[in-house]
Each structure stands twice: as C-alpha cells, then as structure tokens.
Amino acid sequence: MKRKTLFTLWVWCAFFLLACMLPLYWLGWLPLFAVLLLCLGIVSLTVFALQWQVSEWLKERVGLLHQVFEHSGEAVMITDPGNRILDVNPTFSELTGYARNDVLGKNPRLLSSGRTSRAEYEAMWAALQSTGRWQGEIWDRRKDGAVYPKLLAISVVYDEVGAVQYHIANFKDISAEKATQAKLEYIAHHDMLTGLNNRFSLDDRLDHALAVARRETHHVALLFIDLDRFKVINETLGHPVGDELLIQVSQRLRRTVRESDLVARLGGDEFVVMLTGVGYANTAAQVAEKLLKVLGEAYVLGEHTLYATPSIGVAIFPNDGPDRETLMKNAEAAMYHAKAEGRNGFQFFDSRMNSVAVERLEIEHALRQALGADEFVLHYQPVIDAESGAVASVEALIRWQHPARGLLPPGMFIGVAEETGLIEPIGAWVMAEAFRQLAEFRRQGLQNVNMAINISAVQIRSGELLARAEALIERFELDPSWLIFEITESVAMAQPDETVRILDQLRAMGIQVALDDFGTGYSSLAYLRMFALDKLKLDRSFVTDIGQNADGEVICDATIGLGHALNLELVAEGVETESQFDYLKLRGCQLVQGYYFSRPLPAEEVIAFIRQRAA
Ligand code: C2E
Ligand code: CA
Ligand code: CA
C-alpha cells in the first residue's frame, strides 16, 4: 500500500479514536479522557514527524535519480503503455540529434532506420511481453539521417495490478565497437601485405565451395601459383622491392579473374586462385593461360624493370581429389611439375606427380647435407680457340655425387639451391675449388689456360663476392686476369644497376667478365653498353639452329654482329657438329665450346685433353 494512503488512514483512525473517547468526557471520566487524548496526540505527532522525514528522504532520492537520468552515459527513453515517449534524457538528444520536445508524445518508430527487419522487431515485442525485458542490436537513424548501430535494452515496468506502466529503454551507439570488430574480422581473413584473402580464409571458402559443388555436381578448380625465382629477386634486390612485386602480382591476379573467384596469398610468393562453377577443364586452362600472360609482363618497381614469370599447377574437384587437403596438395604438386618442365607454364595434376613433389623435397633435404659430406665435384669443359685449336680456358661446372642417385647435373639442384639460399655456400665452395684447381693447372705447367666460373644472382647481391674472390686470389697466388666470371643475361637484366656496379669492380680487379646465355634474355643495347664485359656467350639454342632453319641463322648472325659491334669476344656454346663449328668460325666467332670438342671432364682428364690439344 502506498505511503499517502497509509497516512490518510491514520488521520481517519485518529478522528475515529477521538470520537470514541468523547463519551468518557461526557461521563465525566476526565483523567482517563486526558490520558487517552495525550496518547493520541503523541502518536499523531510521531506519525507526522515520520511522514515529514520520509518525504525529505524521498525528495533527496528523487533528486539523485533525476541526476542519474540526466547524466547517464547511455541514452534513456521512457514510454507509456501505448508506446508514446514520456521522457528522454540529454544523452538521448546528443545521440539521436532529437531535442526532448521533438519527441515527447511520439512513437519511438521515428528513430528507426528501416535496416532492422520487421521480424526482429516482432521478436523484440514478443520477448517484452513474455519476460518483460529485451536486449539486442538494432540499426537506427539520427535526425541528420546518419544510420548507426546501437545496443538497446528495454525493461517493462508494471503497476500494482500487473498492467504495463512504462517501458524504459536505454541504449548506446556501438559504431566504434562494430568498426573494431570488422577490422579484426578483416585482419583474420586477409593478407596484410597484398589485401588478398589469406590461407585461413581460403580454407573456409574452399570448404564451402566444395560443399556447394558436391550438392550441385559442379567443378571447382584450384590454381596454385608460384613465382619463378622470387627468392632470388627478393634477396638480390631487397625485401621492399620483393614486397612491391608481390603487391603488383596480386593486383594483376585480382584484375584477371572474375569478382566471384577467390584469390588468396598463402605466404611468400605462393598464391591460389579458386574458380567455382567451372564447367570444363578447358575453363581452368584458359584462366591459367591468361594468368601466365598477364603475370609474365614486365614489372616496374621503382628504378627496376624486371620479369617474374609464374609456374601454375591446376587441380580440379572432384577428379583430382575429394577434399580440400588433397586438392591443395595435388595443385601444389602440379605446380612443382610445371617448374620442373621449365617454368613459366602450367600443368594439370596427374597422379604420378606426387612422386615429383616428394623427390624435390628429398633433394632439398639431401642438399643441406651435401656440402658437409663433400659430395660436390667440379667438371671442366674446355673452351677452344677457333683459330689455333688450343684450349683457351675451361668452364667449371658443378656436379653432385649423390649417395643414392649417382652423379647429378646442376639442372637437378641449382634451382632448389637458389630458392633455399643454399646457393650461397655452394657458390663459395665452387669458387674456392675452381681457384685451387687453376693454381694446380699452372703448377703442372699449363700456362695459358684460364678458368671460368658461373656466378648466381644471389652471389651478386650478397656483397661477399669481391672480398671472397680477392682472398682466394691471394691465397692461391693467381693473376686475376686468368679468371672469367660468367653471369647470365637474365640475372644481369633483372638487376642492371647492381650488375653494372659489381662488373665495374670485378674489371677493376682485373677479372674478366662474360655474359652467359646471351640472346635468351631481354637485353637492351643501352644496358649492354653500360656493362663492363669482355665476352658474350652465345646461347646454345642459336648454335643448334645452325643448318636447321634460316630464321635461326639470321638471329645467330645478328647476335654475332652485335658482339662484334660492341667489341666483345664471342664464345659459342653447345657446338656439337663440324658444320656448326665451320659456320661459327667463318662468321668470326673467336671461341667455341661444346660436345664436338669435349664434354665437361674431371680435372685429371681435362689436363690430359689440354696437353693433347696443345701438341
Ligand atoms: P651454362 O653455364 O650455360 O653451362 C653450359 C651447359 O651446357 C653445361 O651444362 C654443359 O654441360 C652444357 N653443354 C656444353 N656443351 C654442350 C653441347 O655441345 N651440347 C649440349 N647439349 N650441352 C652442352 P651443365 O653442366 O648441366 O650446367 C647447366 C647449367 O647449370 C649451367 O649452364 C649453369 O647455368 C649452371 N651451373 C653449372 N655449374 C654451376 C655453378 O658452379 N654455379 C652456378 N651458379 N651455376 C652452375
Ligand atoms: Ca656458363
Ligand atoms: Ca650458357
């Protein structure tokens, strides 16, 4: 019962008691009447005092509650049973943009943005009716039209008889929380460098795509993409350049495939494109072709212009695997196969490929042991002076005496060594061994034979090349002019400025420099002029063309002409027949190398060969 009613009741009681006491007065029982009147007076005074005290306390409490209402960090809105707004606090006005007078008597519907569905509102009212409270997120519109998410809690206040008296709603703007949440979500699903989806997100989307494809008997194609020699570019030109390359690659990938196809970066230079709703293997092949073309175009990275071709492996669901793990593994195996087939190509998965991937892994593992186990050897291929027929120099070519698989040619492991960074210690070993052997040749009286070694891109950048060469020259008491460093054209062109600098220093030391595999890269004449070169090594492919087709000969002639115009000595590689030799000699090629004269030989045999040619 309410306080006011109690008080009124007491006043009535007091009158009633007074009325009851009046007969005592008339009967003349004055002392008793006086005592009772006194008691009634005391009790009434006490009741009045209490009433006053309580009303003071209540005033204070109402004041406090008002302050809470006014200063609450959350917006508060009170509505009547007909859901008309009775009151709102200042935070409400701040948040919604509506002044108190704008909204009094209105339905809170005026706040809604239209973005929260009817069903959600219905669920809210159902909860309010059954439990008297509801909490959730809804989208509202501010007075200025801006839509924002808010966290809203509503409770229903009932009167004595259980009828709804008020609805009290309090809410706050959760745009900032939403934005943080969206950012975290983004970070969890994307690769930070390129903005592509990451592996986690690929797993998710692939599982989903496979589930749909199973239901609708569609195909899903996975294209596993790896950039050829990315590691070399990254290590020779530096990580910022590598990063920029990855960004450009990802932009090209994204541009080339449809919006609905997924492009993900797995890390490093590995990307996956997922094509859904693929009808035929042909579609995947067309996309792979397009990617090869687009990714194979020149990249301009700051002052560098370079080429980074991709190798692509394709696996298609359901033919190449029933689930995500198998498909990914098989697409990767197909990619390694594409690499082994000479890079810049694509391959469909074939069940025999898994053995290739395993073999590559085995090579990488064994290669790590090979240096310590002294399993490398150098063979030396003679380079012949076309005029005199004597051996002018030998080219040191590495071989790997593999414990189980026999003598392996460099094509089987140099690529892996470059990608894993093992080329650095291997290259250092080659240099030391070749220099030692050259000193040995000289000791054995072979006075006119020079030594050529192959330098990899990684060694050019490492900065240790010159110091190492200098130290070895001193240790073996060599004359630098007896040495020839061969650098392939594609390496030189991929990092022209670095190459210009290193070649200048090598030349300054007195070491000769040859541009290897000439004619296969993208040399511009401008760069050729800038490189401090002594020799051009005409690539084997041109020599093979001699006598085979007219076009090949025209290119071969033009290349020889270019060498002459630049005043460089020309070495023809891969000479296998007498007619090739005659042709080259006639065109003024000073040096020749190839099976026609000799295959690469172990040190002892090459010594015998040199002696025999000299005689
Ligand atoms: P390259 O520098 O172009 O070496 C010439 C390759 O052609 C050698 O293959 C040689 O055996 C082969 N060859 C020579 N004459 C003929 C011929 O008449 N016909 C045919 N068909 N082939 C001929 P190899 O020894 O297998 O070396 C392959 C490549 O491996 C080399 O190509 C070079 O780029 C790389 N390499 C070899 N040794 C080293 C090394 O110590 N360090 C580095 N970084 N790379 C090396
Ligand atoms: Ca070479
Ligand atoms: Ca070559």
Cα 455 to middle of ligand 3, angstroms: 11
Report yes or no: 227 and 249 within 8 Å, Cβ to Cβ. Answer: yes
Task: Name which of 430, 312, 439 is nearest 379 in CA terms.
Answer: 430
Report yes or no: 590 and 569 within 8 Å, Cβ to Cβ. Answer: yes
pLDDT reading at 514 higher than 60? yes
pLDDT reading at 552 higher than 80? no
The answer to whether the CB of 409 is under 6 A from ligand 1 is: yes
Report the 3 state secondary structure along 40-76: HHHHHHHHHHHHHHHHHHHHHHHHHHHHHHHHCCCEE
Strongest mean pLDDT among 261-270, 351-360, 546-555: 261-270
Instruction: Record the tokens describing residue 309, joined without a space.
Output: 């071709």
Instruction: Determine how β-strand 591-592 pairs with β-strand 569-572.
Output: parallel
Give me the pLDDT at residue 21, please.
83
pLDDT reading at 146 higher than 80? yes
Instruction: Record the tokens describing residue 357, joined without a space.
Output: 């991937």
The answer to whether the CB of 279 is under 6 A from ligand 1 is: no
Q: For ligand 1, what atom is nearest to the CA of residue 423?
A: 44
Instruction: Record the tokens describing residue 158, joined without a space.
Output: 């009932």
CA dihedral of 333, 336, 337, 338, whole degrees rounded to 10: 120
Instruction: Record the tokens describing residue 529, joined without a space.
Output: 């002029």
pLDDT confidence tier of residue 357, bands split at 50, 70 and 90: low
Eight-state DSSP code of residue 198? -
Residue 174 to residue 255: CA distance in whole angstroms: 35
Cα 516 to middle of ligand 2, angstroms: 6
The answer to whether the CB of 411 is under 6 A from ligand 1 is: yes
Q: Could you say which ligand is closest to the alpha carbon of residue 452?
A: 2
- Give percent above pLDDT 70 in the chain: 97
Report yes or no: 574 and 354 within 8 Å, Cβ to Cβ. Answer: no
Give me the pLDDT at residue 360, please.
73
Instruction: Determine how β-strand 450-455 pairs with β-strand 391-402.
Output: parallel
Task: Name which of 525, 513, 520 is nearest 574 in CA terms.
Answer: 520
Instruction: Record the tokens describing residue 116, joined without a space.
Output: 């929260």
Question: Which of 379, 397, 408, 485 maximizes ligand 1 atoms within 8 Å of its Cβ, making it the mutation to test the pocket?
Answer: 397
Give me the pLDDT at residue 523, please.
61
Average confidence (pLDDT) over 458-485: 92
Average confidence (pLDDT) over 150-167: 94
352 burial level (CB within 10 Å; 0-12, 13-18, 19+): exposed
Higher pLDDT, 474 or 557: 474
pLDDT reading at 228 higher than 70? yes
The answer to whether the CB of 515 is under 6 A from ligand 1 is: no
Give me the pLDDT at residue 303, please.
82
Q: Do domains 190-350 and 367-614 have the same CATH topology?
A: no
pLDDT confidence tier of residue 273, bands split at 50, 70 and 90: very high
- Count CA within 13 A, CB hemisphere, residue 208: 9
Cα 522 to middle of ligand 3, angstroms: 15
Look up the pTM and report it: 0.57
Give one word for 517, left, alpha or beta, with left for phi > 0 and alpha for psi -120 to 50: left
The answer to whether the CB of 454 is under 6 A from ligand 1 is: yes
pLDDT confidence tier of residue 7, bands split at 50, 70 and 90: confident
Residue 273: which H helix or E strand, with range? strand 270-278
Average confidence (pLDDT) over 284-290: 91
Superfamily name and number for 75-179: PAS domain (3.30.450.20)
Give one word for 424, left, alpha or beta, with left for phi > 0 and alpha for psi -120 to 50: alpha
Instruction: Record the tokens describing residue 444, joined without a space.
Output: 């054995």
Average confidence (pLDDT) over 599-613: 96
The answer to whether the CB of 425 is under 6 A from ligand 1 is: no
Average confidence (pLDDT) over 416-432: 90
pLDDT confidence tier of residue 305, bands split at 50, 70 and 90: confident
pLDDT reading at 2 higher than 80? no
* Domain ranges within the chain, ordered by starting residue: 3-71, 75-179, 190-350, 367-614
Give me the pLDDT at residue 257, please.
93
The answer to whether the CB of 459 is under 6 A from ligand 1 is: no
pLDDT reading at 134 higher than 70? yes
CATH of 190-350, one of 3.40.1440.10, 3.30.70.270, 3.30.1370.30, 3.40.50.1820: 3.30.70.270
Q: In what order do the strands lie in the sheet with 75-79?
A: 85-88, 75-79, 164-173, 147-158, 133-141
Give me the pLDDT at residue 395, please.
98
Cα 462 to middle of ligand 1, angstroms: 23
CA angle 117, 121, 124 (to 5 degrees): 140
Report yes or no: 491 and 511 within 8 Å, Cβ to Cβ. Answer: no
Task: Name which of 144, 123, 133 is nearest 169 in CA terms.
Answer: 133
Eight-state DSSP code of residue 342? T
Report yes or no: 311 and 337 within 8 Å, Cβ to Cβ. Answer: no
What distance lies between CA 222 and its chain's CA centroid?
17
Give me the pLDDT at residue 335, please.
93
Give me the pLDDT at residue 439, please.
97
Cα 28 to middle of ligand 1, angstroms: 143
Task: Name which of 228, 226, 227, 237 is nearest 458 in CA terms.
Answer: 237
Report yes or no: 291 and 310 within 8 Å, Cβ to Cβ. Answer: yes
523: CB partners within 8 A, 6+ apart: 489, 492, 493, 515
Instruction: Record the tokens describing residue 224, joined without a space.
Output: 């596993």
Buried b / exposed e along 93-117 (16+ C-beta atoms within 10 A): bebbebeeeebeeeebeebeeeebe
Cα 487 to middle of ligand 2, angstroms: 7
DSSP letters spanning 159-197? -TTS-EEEEEEEEEE-HHHHHHHHHHHHHHHB-TTT-SB
Could you please state the CATH topology (level 3) that the domain comprising 367-614 is classified under.
Answer: TIM Barrel (3.20.20)
